[in-house]
Structure formats: structure tokens, C-alpha cells
Amino acid sequence: MSASSLPQSSPQPPIVSARGVVKRYGQTVALAGLDVDIGPGITGLLGSNGAGKTTFLSLMLGLRTRDAGELTVLGEDPSTAGLRIRARIGYAPEHHDLPAELSAADLVRHLGEMHLLPPRAAMQRANDALWLVGLGEERFRHVGTMSTGQRQRVKLAAAISHDPDLVLLDEPTDGLDPVQRTEMLALIRRIGSEFGMHIVVSSHHLEEVERICDAVVIVEGGELRHAGTMADLQQGPEGLVVEVDERTEELAKILRERGFEVAMSDGVLLLRAADGVNDAVRDAVADLGIGLRRLGPRGRTLEDLYLGAGS
């Protein structure tokens, strides 16, 4: 797979740059020559379990050494400048194990100090970070008494309190109910866009990545399968999607008679892009007197991309 650079919206150098990165564990090859650039903004990292995502994160943090290839994170090589790089990275792991007897405020403050903040700054920023993630009132409670949703937010607060240049979030919505999930995603979006922190979100949830990420990187079989901005993804509608209340078959027939290419899938019509197709659909629907439930451009969805990427 040849190197695929994300089109940069700014002339900034990529935050993470990998060329031919290889990592083996004994006989298993976790990464088999990964080439990718991760740019500024919020990037989603997708891939099957065991496809190399977690390995990639550990290499980025300099916690494991790669067997071959070049890797640059925030302008430095993690295998030589690991300590320096990790000082500038905030990391929220996937698991929910946190020391039970520490209060949220103490934990975030301590990790802030461990990330080289002076003690007073660490305390103030821990306070700010916890309020920001919505745990202001609970910040003195012991982490052991906190629910999954609250722990996710504690992890997030700990990751951002020391003002890192890059934030790595591993499954940040795991265990959250739909409402909490929406809040967490909005929070992550805010952190990335308003506060200008670069974020990499490793997730299994395509619709989340679609919702908040500027760009997406798909890793499969230890290699890059796709890297691109979300805008690119949605460009060039491949046609129209039409969903109606009833008489779907009839509508399809009418449109075909008018010379349009129509396919049906799951009770929904897919039309190939053509001149006048919107008006034709509108008129046909009006003539039939049926309800128009949905009409829209059919770009590729992330799901098409992802499920196609693996094949």
C-alpha cells in the first residue's frame, strides 16, 4: 500500500507521520509496513480488533519499539525521544481501572504534576478540567465510587489538564448510555475544535467518527486501508437516496420509465446522479400522492468505506 497523505488544510506538518512501520510480536505481525500521516484536528482511528490500532498507539507513545520504518510524533522519534513526547501527550486508555481511593481531583492533579506541571498549576488546571468535563461537583469524590460514565470523564480530564499538544483517546464512549455518549462526543468535539488540541480517537463506532472527526484513518491487517478527510468522503454524491411512505415499487417504475437508473435496497431507492433527477423524483412523488420521508445525496458513508476496506 503506497503512502497516502491526508490533504492538509493548513501548511502545518503532520502531527504523526509513519513510513513503513513494522512491529512483530514473536511470529505475529501486528503492523506490516504502515504508511500514514495524521494531520491537525480530530482524527478517527478505525480498525478491527487486532488490526494494529493499539500497537500503533503504543508505538506513538514510545512504549514499544518498532522493528522497522520511520515514525515521527510531534516532530520527534518516539524510540529516542519517548519521554519528551509523552510529556506532550494526553492519553485516556480504554480500560476503566483507576485507583479507587483517590479523589478525582487528586488523581487529575497528580497526573498533571507527573506531566511536569508545577504543583499549583496542576491543582488549578485539575479543577478547571474537571469542571469542563462536567464533574465539577463530584470532583472530590473517590474514583472508586464513580460510575463508568464519570470515570470516562475523569480519564478525559486527566488527559487534557496538562495542556498537551496531542490527545489520544481509546474508546472514550465505551459504557456510556446514548445521552452520555452524545455529551462526551460534543465535549471531544469542543476540545478539538475550540481549544485547538489535536486529537486521535480510536473507536469502533463509525457513526461517532462520522459525527466528530475531521479525518479518518483505517488500519486493517497491520496496514493502512484508508486515510482521508471526512469532507473528501462526503464529496461527489454518487446519486440520490429516496425513501417514501408507500408504493415504493411504483415510484421506481415511473422513474425508470423516465430514463433514470434506479436501484432498491432495504425499501429505499438509490438513483444514479443525473440531470434533473431531483425534480423528476419530486414530480413523481407528487403525482403519486405519497409521503416523502427522506431525500438526500448519497455520498459514500464511512460504513461503506470501512466494510469495503476489509475485503
Partner 1 sequence: MSSPGTQGTQTTQDSRLFDLGYRRYDGPRTEPISGIATLAVFTAKRVLGLGRGGRHKVLPAITLVIAYAPALISVAVAALADGTLEEDFISYGDYMFFIASALALFSALVAPEALCPDRRTGMLGLYLAGPLDRNRYLVAKWGGVLAVMLAITLGPLLFMFAAYVVAGYGPTAGETPGLLLRILAAGVLTALLYTSLSLAVSSFTTRRAAAAVAIILLLFIPPIVSESAVESADAPPELGLIAFPFVAGELSFRIFGEMPEGDGPPVTEVSTGLISAAVAGFIVGGLFVCWIRYRRIEGFR
Partner 2 sequence: MSVGADEPRVVAEGVSKWFGPLVAVSDVSFDIGPGVTALLGPNGVGKSTMLRMLCGLARPSKGTVRLLGRDPRADAGVSRLVGLMPQQESVFESLTAREFVRLTAVLHGLPDADAAASGALERMGLDPSDTRRLPTYSKGMRQRVKVAQAIVHEPTVLVLDEPLTGLDPRQRADMITLFQGLGAEGRCVIVSSHVLGEVERLGSRILVMSQGRLAAAGDFRELRALMDDRPMRVRVRSDRPRQLAGALLERGLAVGARVDGDELLELDTTDARNLSRALAPVARERDARLYEVLALDADLEGVFRYLVER
Task: Rule CB under 8 A: say whether 68 interacts with partner 1.
Answer: no
Residue count, binding to partner 1 (CB under 8 A): 39
Among 76, 77, 163, 183, binds partner 1 (CB under 8 A): 163
Task: Rule CB under 8 A: say whether 95 interacts with partner 1.
Answer: yes
Task: Rule CB under 8 A: say whether 289 interacts with partner 2.
Answer: yes
Q: Are 185 and 151 in contact (CB under 8 A)?
A: no
Task: Rule CB under 8 A: say whether 266 interacts with partner 1.
Answer: no
Pairing verdict, β 262-265 and 268-272: antiparallel
Task: Rule CB under 8 A: say whether 181 interacts with partner 2.
Answer: yes
Task: Rule CB under 8 A: say whether 219 interacts with partner 2.
Answer: no
Task: Rule CB under 8 A: say whether 110 interacts with partner 1.
Answer: yes
Residues 17-56 close enough to bind partner 2 by CB under 8 A? 46-51
Q: Residue 216 in 3-state DSSP?
A: strand
Least distance CB 171 / partner 1 (angstroms): 12
**Which residues does 211 contact at the CB level (< 8 Å), separation at least 6?**
185, 189
User: What are the C-alpha distances in Å from 69 to residues 4, 35, 40, 92?
Assistant: 15, 9, 22, 26
Task: Rule CB under 8 A: say whether 238 interacts with partner 2.
Answer: no
- Say how far residue 127 (Cα) sits from the centre of its chain: 27
Task: Rule CB under 8 A: say whether 99 interacts with partner 1.
Answer: yes
Its sign, for the CA torsion 172, 95, 40, 18, is negative
Least distance CB 146 / partner 1 (angstroms): 13
Least distance CB 159 / partner 1 (angstroms): 9
**Which residues does 80 contact at the CB level (< 8 Å), separation at least 6?**
none
Continuous H helices in 172-234: 178-193, 206-212, 230-234
Query: Which of these segments, 13-21, 42-50, 79-87, 250-258, binds partner 1 (CB under 8 A)?
Result: 79-87
Among 18, 38, 56, 64, binds partner 1 (CB under 8 A): 64
Query: Which of these segments, 13-21, 118-126, 128-136, 205-213, binds partner 2 (CB under 8 A)?
Result: 205-213
**Quick one: 236 or 291, whose CB is closer to partner 2?**
291
Rounded to whole angstroms, the Cα distance separating 84 from 77 reads: 10
Task: Rule CB under 8 A: say whether 127 interacts with partner 1.
Answer: no
User: What are the C-alpha distances in Å from 249 to residues 192, 267, 290?
Assistant: 45, 9, 12
In degrees, rounded to 5, the angle at the alpha carbon of residue 53 between the alpha carbons of residues 187 and 194 is 20
Task: Rule CB under 8 A: say whether 308 interacts with partner 2.
Answer: no
Least distance CB 300 / partner 1 (angstroms): 34
- Say how far residue 88 (Cα) sits from the centre of its chain: 20
Q: Residue 308 in 3-state DSSP?
A: helix
Mark residues 164-203: x for contact with partner 1 by CB under 8 A, - for none: ---------------------------x--xx--------
User: What are the C-alpha distances in Å from 191 to residues 128, 129, 240, 283?
Assistant: 13, 11, 34, 45
Q: Which residues bind partner 1 (CB under 8 A)?
A: 58, 61, 63-64, 82-84, 86-87, 89, 91, 93-95, 97-101, 106, 110-111, 113-118, 121, 125, 128, 132, 158, 160, 162-163, 191, 194-195
Please report, as ranges, the residues that interact with partner 2 according to CB under 8 A: 46-51, 147-149, 174-182, 204-207, 245, 278-279, 281-283, 285-286, 289-297, 303, 306-307, 310
